[in-house]
Structure 1
Amino acid sequence: GEGCSGPSSQSLVADYFTRAELAKAMGFLTIGASMGTAGGLLIGGQLAEIFDWRWAFVLMGLPGLVLGAIIWLTMREPERGRYAPAGTDMAQRPLGETIRSLVTNRVFMGLALGWAVQIMIGYALAFWMAPIMLRQFGISTGDVGLYLGLTFFLGGIPGPILGGYLTHWLCLRDERWRAWLPGVTSLGAVLPLALSLTSGDFTTFLLWFGFAYAIYVASQAGILSGIQAAVEPASRGFAVAIALFFNNLIGQALSLFVIGALSDALTPAQGPQALAVAVFAVCLAAGVAALAIFTWTAAQMGPSGYLEKMRGG
């Protein structure tokens, strides 16, 4: 159900806002994912307790039908590539040619692979913090969704907005910040995460966790706006689809598997702390690798900024 949302929404945003405004717009777009994660935990968990998990899926899906109808009735398709420089080729290329153009685009590939590596941190936070809470603090299963949801709200709303405005401000000085900032924030989120995982107080655990999540999601504006600006308008949606494929393959499948396997291997020595150690180890490795990839990507942009030829405002 979510397969078309990323490619279509990000491509549409690039036609609604100028290149100069794109980072801020993508920051606000990212709030949707944060609110969806938080709302699913808060509301979905309560619905599952009141009814059952099957009805929770049904009831949580109904608002999407309403929003879909509102979008269908009120939104209008913007002019394709209206902020692209005059003379930009808007023709849709054959699939094979589109794939070749993306694979040989170093900036796009750097952003896509860097995103796939750094999102290992995001999936680790979304999937593994709940069992860590259960193991380390002994709270009830019903309260996990409540506390996690509130934390995702507190970190997931200001983080993308601040990240969008910061990316915008920095990119006015140097376009390479679309890659540099995600690299810095990817590794920067690891320190508060470590403080969260090693905390013996539940409130302190949640506060540092929310701070780590806010820093992590601040990276999304630079990545999303950079991808849209690095490719031609006719291939923007497919470029996001390719990037999300890498995300699912590396960020989700590999990250969750490695953390689970590492936790199992460490359990004899670490006991209940094994999962927290595994999460931190994988997030630290992902943060270091992401910083390296994004630094390389920035080098491909050049000192004057790789968007000069594509800037439309």
Structure 2
Amino acid sequence: MTTAAAPTPLERPAYRVYVLGLLTVVYTFNFIDRQVLAILAPYIQAEMNFTDSQLGLLGGPAFAVVYSTLALPIAWLADRISRTSIIATSLAVWSGFTALCGLATGFTFLFGARMGVGVGEAGGVAPSYSLVADYFPKAQRARALAVYSFGVSIGTALGYLFGGLLAAAIDWRAAFIVLGLAGVLLAPIVKLTIKDPERGRFDREPVPEGVIATPAPAQKAASFGEVWAILLKKPSFWFLGFGAACSSVYGYGAAFWLPSFFQRSMGMEGAERAWYMAGIAFFGGTIGIWLGGWLADKLGRGVKRSAYPLVPAVGFIIAVPLFFLAMNVEDKRTAFLLFLIPQALSLAWLGPLITAVQHLVPSHMRSTASASFLLINNLVGIGLGIYLLGAVSEYLTPRFGEEALRYSLYVGQWFYGLAAILLFISARSLRRDWVD
């Protein structure tokens, strides 16, 4: 037996924290550029006279179709070549197209630019999930992925805040250009400072303290067919995927349309609306994401794998009546406090479900499996949710006028109930499907 050598740079806690922090910043820009359209929608609609259905197409299908479908082949590539290079290149591409949105002259131009944002963002998330899994051991993985997922709440909040403030101070075009160029400048830092570690380095059998583990033979990257042959046999993957997708129908839909709801039904304008939405997204979202990851790691130890889907399922059930209550309170301060709770509960799924999917396949298949999960989640969630709420609002406008969006948001809340049902079902098979 040989005593352990000094830790390599990849094993140093400070470097692991740096990598996780920088990946979280990249994910933050992912959601800044994805969600900024929501806060800018009233300005764009006023200038270009778009209908709610057209805005729904820009926020949903224009982005989601290419984002979801391209994520799978890019993730397949990420299981074979440098994940860091893919993430850095993707960041530069989606940020560049975000800036291009600021030059839009009409619906077709803006639709094409939003497709470009989706092309870039397709390469950002699944390779990052895989990297995080190779920087943190199993017992810390849900919390590490929850920290990474802070990019959702932070990015959404900053997109609302900076987008709204820039639009109020200058115009909506400046918001797209400034935020897009900032992401382009970050891409070289990612490429030059994040190392791509050995895949599955924390998934070997444990060895006694003071002993160096024998390196495991390198695993050949799996084909799509091999990955899907495993996933098709695991019911928990499909219930997790469609459960997350149903939650995202309303999650993404509400995130896009709430700024317009606050303008139409609560009389908020400009900077006030930006600060209000940013506060809800940041405080509610960050608390919920961390709480979900912490609870899943705490409750899901040993054989209690069912905690990973059950934690968010319970959260969705509680979130529905609270969202309804928050939307019907006239006092803005009280409404703000009420919105924080369902916002937190609605995002508690990120750490637990992403971790569960990582453990349905061997380590050399994780990028492709994650992209398969994201394909379901995003194609249904983003592609359907934003457009659906906009189309329902437009359909109800002749009857309810400015309040039509309120009733559209009511309709969307039923998807949280469906998500909870699917996640409860997934808990029954997850223990059997889990790969340690």
Q: TM-score by structure 2 length?
A: 0.66
Equivalent position of 2:408 in the other structure: 278
* CA contact 2:140–2:297 (8 Å) conserved in 1: yes
The equivalent residue for 2:381 is 251
Query: What one-letter code is carried by the residue in structure 2 that aligns with 1:135?
Result: R
1:90 pairs with 2:219: yes
Q: Which among 425, 432, 436 is matched to residue 296 of structure 1?
A: 425
User: 1: CA distance between counterparts of 2:385 and 2:218?
Assistant: 39
More relative contact order in 1 or in 2 (CA 8 Å, sep 6+)?
Answer: 1
Matched ranges for 1:230-269 at <5 A: 230-269=360-399
> Unaligned regions of 5+ residues in structure 1, if any?
none
Aligned partner of 2:171 in structure 1 is 52
Q: Determine helix, strand or coil for the equivalent of 2:195.
A: coil
TM-aligned CA deviation for residue 107 of structure 1: 2.1
In structure 2, distance between residues paired with 1:271 and 1:48:
26
Rg comparison, structure with higher value: 2
Structure 2 CA distance for aligned equivalents of residues 243 and 104 of structure 1: 15
Q: Is the 8 A contact 1:227 1:240 kept in 2?
A: yes
- Aligned twin of 1:38: 157
3-state secondary structure, aligned to 2:255: helix
Residues 270/53 of structure 1: CA separation in 2 closer, same or farther (3 Å cut)? closer
Q: CA deviation at 1:269?
A: 4.5
Measure how far apart 1:99 and its partner are.
2.8
Corresponding residue for residue 217 of structure 1: 347
Match of 1:128 in 2: 257
Return the match for 1:205 from 327, 332, 335: 335
1:165 to 284, 291, 294: 294
Aligned counterpart, 1:99: 228
Q: What is the aligned partner in structure 1 of residue 134 from structure 2?
A: 15
Q: Distance in 2 between matches of 1:297 and 1:90?
A: 29
Q: Out of 57-66 and 18-27, give the one that drifted further.
A: 57-66
Residues 41 and 145 in structure 1, CA contact (< 8 A), matched pair in contact too:
yes
**Number of positions where the alignment pairs a residue of Structure 1 with one of Structure 2:** 306
Kindly provide the CA deviation profile for residues 37-57 of structure 1, in whole angstroms up to 9, marking residues without a partner as x.
Answer: 111111122223334333322
1:186/1:219 contact within 8 Å kept: no
Residue 195 of structure 1 is aligned with which of 298, 307, 325?
Answer: 325
Following TM superposition, by how much is the alpha carbon of 1:36 offset from its aligned partner in structure 2, in angstroms?
Answer: 0.8
* CA gap 1:81/1:155 in 2 versus in 1, 3 angstroms: same
Distance 1:120 1:152 in 2: 17
Indicate the SS of the match to 2:121.
coil
Partners in 1 of 2:377 and 2:274 — Cα distance? 24
Match of 2:45 in 1: none
How many angstroms does 1:270 deviate by?
Answer: 4.1
Q: Which of 134, 139, 152 does residue 281 from structure 2 map onto? A: 152
Question: In structure 2, do the counterparts of structure 1 residues 143 and 155 end up closer, same or farther at CA, with 3 Å as the change threshold?
Answer: same
Tell me how far apart the structure 2 counterparts of residues 197 and 45 of structure 1 sit (CA, whole Å). Answer: 21
CA contact (8 A) 1:116 1:243 kept: no
User: Does the aligned pair in 1 maintain the 2:250–2:415 contact within 8 Å?
Assistant: yes
Would you say the 8 A contact 1:190–1:280 is kept in 2?
A: no
Q: Secondary structure at the match of 2:390?
A: helix
**How far is 1:123 from its partner?**
0.8
- The answer as to whether partners of 2:160 and 2:277 remain within 8 angstroms in 1 is yes
The letter for the 2-side match of 1:16 is Y
Aligned residue in 1 for 2:196: 77
Residues 49 and 270 of structure 1: CA distance in aligned 2, closer, same or farther (over 3 Å): closer
Pick which of 250-259 and 293-302 moved more.
Answer: 250-259
Q: Does the C-alpha gap of structure 1 residues 52 and 273 become closer, same or farther in structure 2, counting only changes over 3 Å?
A: closer
Alignment of 1:228 with 2:347, yes or no, is no
CA offset digits 1:102-144 (Å, max 9, x no partner): 2333222221111111112211221111111112111214432
**Whole-Å Cα distance in 1 between the matches of residues 400 and 167 of structure 2?**
33
CA deviation digits over 1:79-122, x for unaligned, max 9? 10112245798321222333333233322222111111111221
Deviation at 1:229, TM superposition (A): 1.2
Cα deviation for residue 72 of structure 1 reads 2.1
Aligned to 2:316: 186
Q: Which moved more, 1:22-31 or 1:253-262?
A: 253-262
Match of 2:337, as an amino acid?
L
Q: Distance in 1 between matches of 2:176 and 2:189?
A: 21
Return the TM-score normalized by structure 1.
Answer: 0.90
C-alpha distance in 1 between matches for 2:245 and 2:218: 29
Structure 1 residue identity aligned to 2:155: G
- Equivalent position SS for 1:237: helix
